[in-house]
Structure 1
């Protein structure tokens, strides 16, 4: 969502890095570009102006101008102010779970993803906080809304309370409290009705539910794809029902992201969660500092670690790490690593959260490697191999390659490319695990090696076995057999020995 804004900001700060000491004109010029970038990203005009003014006030000072790395100082100030715009570093972004039972009421317009967000939130609270949630189908107007919630509840093994068509939504929510006590549920999530547009009847209904049930949280589900319209909707709901927080849905979309950057400042209501996909586990707590790092192209290692903890079996990963250290990483381990990555989410999202590697996702040559279909072909080729071939790829000769390609519906050339990339990737993993070689040097540059590892994946890698082929690093001087082969190749090109 913030890809274009990230590129613009990276370009601006790269220009500053090329200078020595900054002048006031340098800062003014850079901040003018920042302001344009924010407005083009659909950030509220007033918010963009205030943001730039605050950065300018802090940046034009003796501490920055006299610094040995003034561009980094300005970047630090921009990051600090970006965190403030997104919600600050206080605890207001956290969900209030102090009640018994905890009552969470979701409101919003039709199409914002309210019913799906209710199921995602229930699934998150069940897994992360050990809650026993109850979903309440209080939307009596949208066709199939009750059935949709029942289907979602069944998928995540969470009970759903509902009443026959025509029942009063306020009474449904009140009756659900008694049902929750009977079922020993300690968290109640109310999925209220939405409308195409805000109207008086709709608002009065949610006000009546709030007054009768007295929820601890009133969360607006706002569609991040609608830009500044989401900000206006948030203002209207806040005026009517006094919101305690928001869930920004569809944050994985290709909109410009201005709503996320404007909504807290304009409404004063904190964003508490963001939804990043269609799957029922695709919801995350909203951390302003982590999102600010993503926007500035710094990655998001902490969120990556959280996702890895949920998706990866520690014992299995430890075995993989031991095999890596012994240099025995094979195609079977590679396939298992791919499955672990798929559990963590789309590969493009994972790469974007890795410091340094997030820049690779915008490279044209990486597009195919980051698509899910490409990984399916890789998986098909490996599954078409025998167990012996997966454990010892060196035995795969010409006839075996033809059989594997035929069995997986691919070409021999594609299989050759996979085996070549696997050998290069195995070299990369060995270097990063040992801390020696050009790949290890690159990881140290991006803060991967020796820094924060990903739990459950091999140390020193930044935690990503099974990554697609990366751009080639400059190789050192060849020796031994490789050198003789290279020499023979050059002689052949010149027309024989001399």
Structure 2
């Protein structure tokens, strides 16, 4: 998870102050010292840390905290609000041109994930906003970049405009804009050239493209794993191009969080999107408040709900509810539900969105459950249609066949059958409770 080290450190620090009926200036001083060390270890810019700690300290020993009924909780509220403000305060939405197409320039150094992010952004615009983007291959110095963008276009079934490696990038961008107008595309996303480092030639070319196509957005793509280097890159690009926003890639990795917490303060430009995985649907709008909540262990329920709404079919959910009530829930239904949960993203990522999940025993190592889920799927898929509908018919010889077909053993098959049976009993008890009957010994078999 992003910010894992920082999150653990901050949460243990503020936990000491949470339940206090009274908070002294000394308590605040000790807490802010720990917060300062945690932020510096997370590679947050020194000046940014200094300013943040000053604001937290001023507010935490102020009237709003000291005279409140729950001063400990008020201090945490102050820390959350200041972290949120540091990352931009509120979500910064993508610009829309008065007259289409909206033009977006993607800029950044080589290796930051710019070309892949171009495809992800196009996918997000089409999926969430029903837009029709045109991708433009302007990185003529790296033939692999053009090929990669065309491959992404093919995977997404989306057009890519390219004039090959011999054409001038400024001409490519200009002609692509005319093509987009003619074909009624409402977004043009230009994948520009990158370098291993910032140089005059690169900035000159990007400035020329900017002058010709007058983009509505200039997104700088930076690798969040590079910490303060990402912040320095952002500062340089912003000085020379006046970027409009930042897209952080690899925010799902083991990143210390310095880039996300420093970039807005250093450049005064918002983080607009965050890459949360390698798949083409793993680019998300950046919500400062939600990220602050996750860092402080308060979860991110809104993002979890949005993921569920995107991936769970409402009609299927109603049918499932009816099956649960009538006790006709089968292994086929179970498999379908597991598939929908899988589509929402990695288990550990979903669990980290739950408030206090990091404190629950067994949940911190939830990635281990991914293997168990795959085993469960393999066992169910090795059953016949009749066995999935009527698991009671599964005898010893059938169990051996299922175990062999799924690459598991008979004890694992037995465990799943037992858990499924207990789950159905639990559903019956819950139904009885709704009818006013008392349920005895109800427990969830997977916990």
TM-score, normalised via structure 2 length: 0.93
Task: Determine if contact 1:103/1:217 at 8 Å carries over to the other structure.
Answer: yes
Q: Note the C-alpha offset of 1:383.
A: 0.8
Per the alignment, residue 52 of structure 1 pairs with 53
SS of match in other structure, 2:28:
helix
Return the offset for 1:265. Answer: 0.4
Counterpart residue number, 1:17: 18
Q: CA deviation at 1:26?
A: 1.2
Give CA deviations for 1:375-409 in whole Å, capped at 9, x if unaligned: 22211101111223223334433332222111211
Kindly state the Cα deviation for residue 128 of structure 1 after the two structures are TM-superposed: 1.2
- Matched residue, 2:95: 96
C-alpha distance after superposition, 1:224-244 (max 9, x if no partner): 110010000000000111000
- The separation in 1 between residues aligned to 2:10 and 2:186, in whole angstroms, is 45
Select between 295-304 and 61-70 the one with higher mean Cα deviation: 61-70
Instruction: Give the CA deviation at 1:34.
Output: 1.1
CA contact (8 A) 2:422 2:445 kept: no
Q: How far apart are residue 18 of structure 1 and its match?
A: 4.3
Residue 413 of structure 2 corresponds to which residue in structure 1? 415
Where does residue 289 of structure 1 map in the other structure?
A: 289
Match for residue 334 of structure 2? 334
- 1:136 equivalent to 2:136? Answer yes
Q: Secondary structure at the match of 2:143?
A: coil
Partner of 2:154: 154
Task: Please name the residue that 1:2 is paired with.
Answer: 3
SS at structure 1 position matched to 2:269: coil
What residue is the counterpart of 1:455 in the other structure?
Answer: none
Change (3 A) 1:293 1:368: same
Q: Find out whether 1:352 has 2:352 as its counterpart.
A: yes
**1:358-373 equivalence runs, <5 A:** 358-360=358-360, 363=363, 366-369=366-369, 371=370, 373=371
Alpha carbons of structure 1 residues 361 and 427: separation in structure 2 relative to 1, 3 Å: farther
CA contact (8 A) 1:231 1:266 kept: yes
The structural deviation recorded for 1:352 is 1.1
Give the number of aligned pairs.
441
- Show the counterpart of 1:377: 375
Asked if structure 2 preserves the Cα contact closer than 8 Å seen for 1:24 and 1:60, the reply is yes
Larger relative contact order (CA 8 Å, sep ≥ 6): 2
Q: Which residue of 2 aligns with 1:73?
A: 74
Q: Label 1:407 to 1:356 Cα distance change in 2 as closer, same or farther (>3 A).
A: same
Matched, 1:242 2:219: no
Secondary structure, counterpart of 2:201 in structure 1: helix
Indicate if the aligned counterparts of 2:297 and 2:357 stay in contact, CA closer than 8 A: no
Residues 14, 124 of structure 1: CA spacing in aligned structure 2 closer, same or farther, 3 A cutoff?
same
Counterpart-to-counterpart distance in 1, 2:440 and 2:270: 44
Bigger mean CA deviation after superposition, 297-306 or 323-332: 323-332
Shift of 1:83: 0.7
Moved more, 212-221 or 375-384: 375-384
Alpha-carbon shift at residue 144 of structure 1 (Å) = 1.3
Distance 1:411 1:73 in 2: 53
Contact 1:43–1:259 (CA under 8 A) maintained in structure 2? yes
Distance 2:38 2:195 in 1: 33
- Closer, same or farther in 2 for the Cα pair 1:146/1:468, shift >3 Å? farther
Distance in 2 of aligned mates of 1:426 and 1:356: 28
Alignment CA distance shift 1:362-1:70 (3 Å):
farther
CA distance in 2 between counterparts of 1:254 and 1:272 reads 21
The 2-side partners of 1:197 and 1:58 are apart by 41
- The answer to whether residue 446 in structure 2 is matched with residue 469 in structure 1 is yes
1:351·1:361 contact (CA, 8 Å) conserved in 2? no
Distance 1:408 1:264 in 2: 50
Q: Which segments of 5 or more consecutive residues in structure 1 lack a partner in the other structure?
A: 442-466, 471-498
What is the CA-CA distance between 1:35 and the residue it aligns to?
1.1
Residue of structure 2 equivalent to 1:454: none
Distance in 2 between the 1:257 and 1:274 partners? 12
Against the structure 1 CA distance between its residues 427 and 168, is the aligned structure 2 distance closer, same or farther, given a 3 Å change threshold? farther
Query: Contact conserved, 1:21 with 1:66, CA < 8 A, in 2?
Result: no
C-alpha change, 1:43 and 1:469, in structure 2 (3 Å) is: farther
The alignment's TM-score, normalised by the length of structure 1, stands at: 0.83
The aligned runs of 1:255-334 (5 Å cut-off) are: 255-334=255-334
SS at match of 1:144: helix
* Of 422-431 and 341-350, the range deviating more from structure 2: 422-431
